[in-house]
Chain A
Amino acid sequence: GQQLNQSPQSMFIQEGEDVSMNCTSSSIFNTWLWYKQDPGEGPVLLIALYKAGELTSNGRLTAQFGITRKDSFLNISASIPSDVGIYFCAGQGTTDSWGKLQFGAGTQVVVTP
């Protein structure tokens, strides 16, 4: 299946800085999801977005569903060491069945003190 274009591929940031990453697709999505994966573990759902323009926060995380329904971004404010990990975007297209998601390649976040 088609993979989403996720950028940047990796980020090296200092503790306290803000982080921003995004995903784009050539097709329209009904749902955008953002996951975080710690080393050697499975991804954990951070935020789910369901309609164009929606802006949702979860603590220091904020994500938005793009107006065109073809993109989404995730922001992390005031990063801390435990924010280290790989962040994946995932989307459900208009013809995909429930739970059958397309995934971006991930953004590796490294936080230095």
Chain B
Amino acid sequence: DGGITQSPKYLFRKEGQNVTLSCEQNLNHDAMYWYRQDPGQGLRLIYYSQIVNDFQKGDIAEGYSVSREKKESFPLTVTSAQKNPTAFYLCASSFLEKLFFGSGTQLSVL
């Protein structure tokens, strides 16, 4: 089955800790994205990558980092600099204008 796999489904972060969210896709899409979703709000773009070894900041990149070493993978690290990390994180890939989403990771702070 083709799709986008995010892991883990639930993640807990301690104070001062960096955590990494995994995103893998087998759709052969060039572009990948990370969005943050807070209750009652729309999706806000954190980072995106249109090609391997290249990525750009989105609207709320502070406190986050990414890498794109392989076409299939686009991991997101939530650093200790992100003071309000509790949210639902969505990874997506795109074909032309259409975004296809993973099932999300819920990150909470202990």
Contacts and interface: CB of A to CB of B under 8 A. Distances in A.
Interface stretch (A13-21, A43-51, A62-70, A71-79): A43-51
Contacts of B95: 99
A44 B101 contact: yes
Contacts, number: 69
A105 B40 CA distance: 7
Interface string A5-19: 010010000000000
The listed residue with most A CB atoms (<10 A of its CB), out of B33, B48, B97, B101, is B97
Given A100-B48, A104-B42, A1 B59 contact: yes
Interface string B83-110: 0000000101011111111111010000
Interface residues of A, number: 27
Interface residues of B, number: 28
A45 B43 contact: no
B45 A42 contact: no
Contact of A88 (B43, B44, B58): B43
8 contacts: A1-B58, A1-B59, A42-B104, A43-B43, A88-B42, A99-B48, A99-B98, A100-B45
Interface of B: 4, 6, 31, 33, 40-45, 48, 50, 58-59, 90, 92, 94-104, 106
Interface of A: 1, 3-4, 6, 9, 30-31, 33, 40-45, 48, 88, 90, 92, 97-101, 103-106
